[in-house]
A and B are shown apart, each in its own frame.
Chain A
Amino acid sequence: MKINTYHFGEVEFTEDKIIIFNSGLLGFENLKKFLFIKQDDSYFFWLNSIEDPDICFPLFSIRMLDDKFPQVENYEAFGITTLNSDPLNITVNLKAPVYINQNDKLGYQKIIDTDKYPVHYKLFSE
């Protein structure tokens, strides 16, 4: 299968690479199938929709920020990242992490309703 993506051009993949989000993501409940892409030279991972290839979310691995963050067995927690041309304004959503199981190819988003984890967490400092 092939899709045309903004960030990666034409991407070819096989069915077993698809991560299924049965409930979609908040605001994108209709999108269930994503490719999970890691670039070698980037801090970010990418979740690219297969059904709507223009939709793409940068992700940041939350364990690089906090080793006490709520963990789920066999899943890794990522924060959806809002990019900005000024790195000091790049934020990571820690309130609604995306959990991905790369072995079973499953993912879901969960809201952690405490004040400890903000929606817009500033990722970088000088």
Chain B
Amino acid sequence: MLVLTRKINEEIKIGPDISIKILSISENQIKIGIEAPQSVQILRGEVFEKVKESTLEASRASTQKADDLLKYKIHKIE
């Protein structure tokens, strides 16, 4: 892993189109500003991992059979 030390308002460039700026630092939180093209998906790491785990789980469960689904109501989003 590449490790760089930055101060507030200093930037890191990744390639020509992506820049990351340190905006503020408090005791245990850092605010980071990111500029990147629309096509680059930016996600918090834990969200990415959670979705990935769910996709793997869906693949494993795809052979499960549930009977009588018609007895149940589809739960719509309010």
A111 CB to nearest B CB, Å: 6
- Asked if A124 meets B73 with Cβ closer than 8 Å, knowing A57-B62, A83-B66, the reply is yes
What mask results when residues 79 to 94 of chain A are scored 1 for a CB within 8 Å of chain B, else 0? 0111111111010011
Q: Digitize B56-69: 1 where CB-to-A-CB distance is under 8 Å, 0 elsewhere.
A: 11110111111011
Contact A111:B75 (CB < 8 A) given known A84-B64, A87-B68, A119-B51: no
User: B55 near A: Cβ within 8 Å?
Assistant: yes
Which positions 30-69 of chain B face chain A at CB distance < 8 Å? 41, 43-44, 47-48, 50-59, 61-66, 68-69
**Interface check A64, CB cutoff 8 A:** yes
A46 to chain B, nearest CB (A): 8
> Which residues in A have their C-beta under 8 angstroms from that of B50?
95, 119
Bound-state CA distance A28–B26 (Å) is 38
- With A111-B41, A119-B54 in contact, do A55 and B59 touch (Cβ < 8 Å)? yes
B55 — nearest CB in chain A belongs to which residue? A27
Task: Decide if A40 is an interface residue (CB 8 Å cutoff).
Answer: no
CB distance from A29 to the nearest CB of B (A): 10
**A26-B55, A82-B57 known; A123 and B64 CB under 8 Å?**
no
> Chain A nearest CB: distance from B29 CB in Å?
18
Question: What is the CB-to-nearest-CB distance from A36 to chain B, in angstroms, rounded to a whole number?
Answer: 15
Q: 13 pairs across A/B with beta carbons < 8 Å? A: A27-B55, A27-B59, A28-B59, A43-B74, A57-B55, A69-B77, A84-B61, A87-B66, A96-B51, A111-B41, A119-B50, A124-B74, A126-B72
Binding site for A on B (CB under 8 A): 41, 43-44, 47-48, 50-59, 61-66, 68-69, 71-77
